[in-house]
Amino acid sequence: MNQQVTKARHVAIIMDGNGRWAKKRHLPRAVGHQRGVEAVRVLVRAARQMGLEALTLYAFSTENWRRPEEEVSALMGLLKRYILADLREFIDNNVRLRIIGNYKELSADIVDLLEDALTRTASNDGTTLVVALNYGSQDEIARAAAKASAKGAITPAAIEAELDTAGLPPLDLLIRTSGEVRLSNFLLWQAAYAEMWFTDVLWPDFTPGHLEQALTEFETRERRYGGR
């Protein structure tokens, strides 16, 4: 039974620390990413059960191409296996998949797989799982501004309507794991009035309990949106 347990509608997460998690255990980085996917799987289920409208996860940035080819292909393989393994669960549990970023530049097999998953979950209206892939916020804003300008005046509302996140609820809470305190080109526009929650926990160790902790703290914050 899904239950609305929080006022937050949209939570986004910078899932950081897979590499350090593995290093601490003298394991290959790919094992850290594998455990990171397990954390994703558990968290998506929790988000759905909590009645969150949207959960946005930073899975692969436009800067991540700079990593060794072996690591990039390990990440792509994990993404592929995750979608293949969990698509049925999304369909059965009213989870809608959405991708932000230039995912069409990924390899053809992944693009096909993602598009199939997008189509098959498009009419779901429970939690939207938004995966940021080949995503960079500056790139997203530049693309949106170009589209807005082709249609008329460049206003904040016109840009917002062209962002990859158009139509999603406003971002309420942005979480980053692993002790780093920066946005790394993630949802720069959308974070304008979002609350931030940083934790030292490394991503593979992140649990629904941590999400609940962040949401509990979110409930106590007074959001003024620039007013008083």
Q: Which residues bind ligand FPP (CB under 6 A)?
A: 15-20, 33, 36-37, 40, 57, 59, 64, 75, 78-79, 82, 131, 178, 203
CB of 58 to ligand FPP, least distance (A): 7
Which residue, 36 or 101, has its beta carbon nearer to ligand FPP?
Answer: 36
CB of 158 to ligand FPP, least distance (A): 30
Residue 121 CA to residue 116 CA, distance in Å, equals 9
Which residue, 17 or 101, has its beta carbon nearer to ligand FPP?
Answer: 17
Please identify which residue in the block is written with the tokens 């920066």: 182
CB of 48 to ligand FPP, least distance (A): 15
Angle of helix 29-50 relative to helix 69-92, nearest 10 degrees, comes to 20
Query: Over the range 45-77, which residues count as b (16 or more CB within 10 Å of their CB) and which as e?
Result: bbbbebebbbbbbbbbbbebeebeeeeeebbbe
Which residue, 135 or 218, has its beta carbon nearer to ligand FPP?
Answer: 135
Which residue, 16 or 195, has its beta carbon nearer to ligand FPP?
Answer: 16
Residue 203 is encoded by which pair of tokens? 């991503």
Residue 176 CA to residue 200 CA, distance in Å, equals 9
CB of 37 to ligand FPP, least distance (A): 5
Instruction: List the catalytic residue out of 2, 64, 93, 94.
Output: 64
Does 64 participate in catalysis according to the annotation? yes
CB-based closest residue to ligand FPP: 19
Q: Which of 5, 96, 7, 12 is nearest to 49 (CA)?
A: 5
Residues recognised as catalytic: 16, 64
